[in-house]
Amino acid sequence: MLKVQNLKSYYGRLQALRGISLHVGKGEIVTLIGANGAGKSTILNTVAGLVSQNEGKILLEGKDIRGLAPERIVRHGVALVPEGRQLFAPMTVVDNLELGAYVRHKNGSKIEIRQDMEMVFDLFPVLKERRKQLAGTLSGGEQQMLAIARALMSRPRLLLLDEPSMGLAPKISEEIFRTIVRLKKQEVTILLVEQNARMALEVAGRGYVIETGQVVVQGPSADLLRNHEVERAYLGKTYEKVWE
Amino acid sequence: MDALAITLQYVFTGVAIGSIYAMVGLGFNIIYNCTGIINFAQGEFVMLGGMFMVTLTTVWKLPVGIAFPIAVLLVVLVGIGFERIAIHPLKNPSVLVLIMITIAGSILIKGLAMFAWGKEARYLPHFSGETPINIMGATILPQTLWVLASLLTVVVGLAYFFNRTLIGKAMRACAHNPDAARLVGISVKQMVTLSFGLSSGIGAIAGVVITPIILMDYQRGAMLALKGFGAAILGGLGSAPGAVLAGLLIGILESLGAGYISSHYKDAIALIVLLGVLFVRPGGLLGSADVQRLKKF
Ligand SMILES: Nc1ncnc2c1ncn2[C@@H]1O[C@H](COP(=O)(O)OP(=O)(O)OP(=O)(O)O)[C@@H](O)[C@H]1O
Ligand SMILES: [Mg+2]
């Protein structure tokens, strides 16, 4: 599905990615974990087209999409749920969803879009109750759900999720993660960035550990969960416990 | 006439010109919301609207009903053409560069208009005659009703466009969060072009309906733009209801000031009110201070 080869991204003179290579197979959930500032968001943003200075290859089903504008990339079936949600705060839930399907409106697919809206309401029933409410007035959890729902409205083949559990209570995070698992069953391919590494590795099949713009460890989630280095650095266990 | 009737008379006059300020202010806001810049060529769109209308009705002898939409369309083409040629090709231009470009555009359009229509003020017949209508002792010109109807149409049309149509919502999305808009597939550049088309059209409508009352010459746009800019600022930059309210307010105050104090001071009066309000409410009448901090001005 997605194959990233030797990707280097820059913000002006600052190099944020130092040659990242990773791949996500069709129907897989793959997670990226790493400390603050490691470059996780930069990877997703570069794939989505928001970071314009970069080198390397970003192959989507064999086609290089690197260098395309974000509004083109979403038409190739890649949707990013950005860090911090980035909703259209002064607009209603329904308007946000309608705009999520912006790339599909031209084909005169009004009925299909209605159906998809029902589909995301089914996924997040609370959004249906709040359909006329302004996005900016939703709770944090509801906003995250709306951000995911808005991305789904473009019918992505590949969904990029940037810290969906950020700032949410554990119970709400769990709900979000349950949805991610449900999406996998609907054959959406997911690349997930998470601070909560344990939860991420529980839903993902494989993972990459990112440090200062490089992949330092990679492998199946089960291996990463057992890896001492990963455990110490990202899973919140103390040194002593590892050595017990 | 008694005092009440006289006051009412001043108010009517003020509402007419205030409606124009309101429309110009709306035009400023549309481009501002989309790009973060003040388009200094806004007044020239108003002037061009009036001038095209003069030519179409007096030289081409077209009836008002046909000349009006054509004049507006021509100005929209100028607005879109200006954006396409001077702004669209730039990659990540700074706000300052964009503003300079609109100033250059303003000067250029003014110059071309001077060649095309000369330096004298141009006259346009009133659309529905000049027989005043009596209201409570004061009179109102039928042309003033045209002005009011235009403002109303523009306001209702914009409200519909921005709240009910997908493209309108996309423009709002773009104004609120350009990156998020791009992520759902909205082309920001397309929206910028559209914003120029829209605001040049609104400017043109204002120019067409006000020309019979104030006459039009190649420089007239600048003063109208200045007052319209005042309306946009006073109302809260970016706020459409604010621009309408403030435009009408400036128009009425100006007219009352000219009537009761002196017409020499009428521009000063509007300006003093503007500064006074901004001193108390820096975000403008209907602008939220919160939004104001995020904007580029
Ligand atoms: N817009 C930007 N301009 C300049 N530098 C940036 C920008 N965005 C990120 N960076 C820098 O790039 C590096 C990687 O940042 P990135 O946001 O990708 O990290 P992250 O792994 O997502 O961190 P977090 O877990 O805090 O979200 C950091 O050093 C950061 O300061
Ligand atoms: Mg991040």
Query: What percent of chain B lies above the pLDDT cut of 70?
Result: 96
Residue A243 in this model has a pLDDT that exceeds 50 = no
Token pair 């930059």 in the structure block, residue = B237
| Sign, Cα dihedral of B278, B280, B282, B285 | negative
Q: How confident is the model at residue A226 (pLDDT cuts 50, 70, 90)?
A: confident
Q: Which residue of A20, A36, A42, A46 sits with most ligand 1 atoms within 8 Å of its CB, as the best mutation to test the pocket?
A: A42
Query: What does DSSP assign to residue A165?
Result: T
More confident residue, A29 or B278: A29
Contact A131, A94 (CB under 8 A): yes
B138: helix, strand or coil: strand
Distance A8 CA to ligand 2 centre (A): 16
Ligand nearest to the CA of A16: 1
- The residues, ordered by sequence, that sit 6+ positions from B25 with a Cβ below 8 Å of its Cβ are B228, B229, B230, B231, B232, B235, B243, B244, B246, B247
CB A114 within 8 A of CB A105: no
CATH 1.10.3470 fits B3-280, yes or no: yes
Domain residues for A23? 2-77+156-235
Cα separation, B75 vs B46, in Å, equals 9
At residue A236, the pLDDT reads: 64
Q: Would you state the pLDDT for residue B281?
A: 80
In a domain, A205, yes or no: yes
What is the distance between the terminal CA atoms of chain A, rounded to a whole angstrom?
41
Residue B1: the pLDDT is 65
Ligand 1 contact, A39 CB (< 6 A): yes
Distance CA B124, CA B173 (A): 40
Among candidates B238, B239, B206, which has minimal Cα distance to B221? Answer: B206
Per-residue pLDDT of A138-165, as tens digits, reads 999 999 999 999 999 999 999 999 999 8
**In this complex, is the C-beta atom of B169 within 8 Å of any C-beta atom belonging to chain A?**
yes
Please report the pLDDT score of residue A240 as a whole number. 45
Q: Counting runs of H as helices and runs of E as strands, what totals does chain A give?
A: 11, 10
Is A33 inside a domain boundary?
Answer: yes
Task: Specify if A145 maps to a domain.
Answer: no
- Over its length of 297 residues, how does chain B's per-residue pLDDT go in tens digits? 688 889 999 999 999 999 999 999 999 999 998 888 889 999 999 999 999 999 999 999 999 999 999 999 999 999 999 999 999 998 888 888 998 999 999 999 999 999 999 999 999 999 999 999 998 888 999 999 999 999 999 999 999 999 999 999 999 999 999 999 999 999 999 999 999 999 999 999 999 999 999 999 999 999 899 999 999 999 988 889 999 999 999 999 999 988 888 878 777 877 788 788 888 887 777 776 545 444 444
Split into its structural domains, chain A has a count of 1
Closest atom of ligand 1 to CA, residue A42: 18
Give me ligand 2 centre to Cα A165, in Å.
12
> Is A67 part of any domain?
yes
A193, A45 Cβ separation under 8 angstroms:
no
pTM comes to: 0.89
Rounded to a whole number, what is the distance in Å from the CA of B88 to chain A's nearest CA?
A: 15
* pLDDT tens profile B228-280: 999 999 998 888 999 999 999 999 999 998 888 887 877 787 778 878 888 88
ipTM: 0.91
A contacts of B188 (beta carbons < 8 Å): 71
pLDDT score, position A107: 62
pLDDT in tens, A98-144: 999 999 887 668 888 999 999 999 999 999 999 999 999 999 999 99
Mean pLDDT, to the nearest integer, of A50-54?
A: 93
Residue of B nearest to A98 (CA): B166
Q: Within a domain: residue A202?
A: yes
Gap between the Cα atoms of B202 and B147, Å rounded: 12
Nearest CA in chain A to B186: A71
- CA-CA distance, B160 to B167, in Å (whole number)? 11
CATH of the domain at A47: 3.40.50.300
Whether A81 has a pLDDT exceeding 60, the answer reads: yes
pLDDT at position B294 is 44
Name residue, tokens 């820096």. B282
A233 touches chain B (CB under 8 A): no
Query: What is the rounded average pLDDT for all residues in chain A?
Result: 90
Q: Is residue A211 part of a domain?
A: yes
The runs of H, that is alpha helices, within chain B are 3-35, 42-54, 64-82, 95-117, 142-164, 166-176, 178-183, 188-214, 220-235, 240-260, 266-280, 289-294
- Residue A179: pLDDT over 80: yes
What would the two tokens of residue A75 be?
């038409």
Nearest to B210 by CA among B196, B197, B223: B223
The dihedral through the CA atoms of B231, B237, B242, B243 has a sign that is positive
